[in-house]
Amino acid sequence: MTLPEMQAVSSSTVSMVGYDESSQEAYVQFHNGGLYVYRGVPRHEYDNLLMAPSIGSYLHAYFKNVYPYERVG
């Protein structure tokens, strides 16, 4: 599996995020080491995640029970 370019974020739970435009997959690396992929995420929703005051809260509210996801690392 090839990950998209990941960028560090300021969050108490999330360390890095990345997005693959062609497959609409958002990747989220947590401080505890878990790496998850969220599938079918539109670009604007990923951009909203990056701009959210709390990335962890936004992820929980708008990604977790909306988009299919799985742990990949």
pLDDT at position 55 = 97
Q: Average pLDDT of 42-47?
A: 98
Report the Cα 4 to chain-centroid distance in Å: 11
Q: Among candidates 12, 23, 15, which has minimal Cα distance to 67?
A: 23
The pLDDT value recorded for residue 26 is 98
Tokens of 61: 């509210």
Which secondary structure element, helix H or strand E, spans residue 27, and what is its range? Answer: strand 25-30
Domain ranges of the chain: 6-71
Global pTM reads 0.94
Q: Is pLDDT above 90 for 37? A: yes
Residue 22, both tokens: 């062609």
Mean pLDDT of 38-43: 98
The answer to whether 38 and 63 are in contact (CB under 8 A) is yes
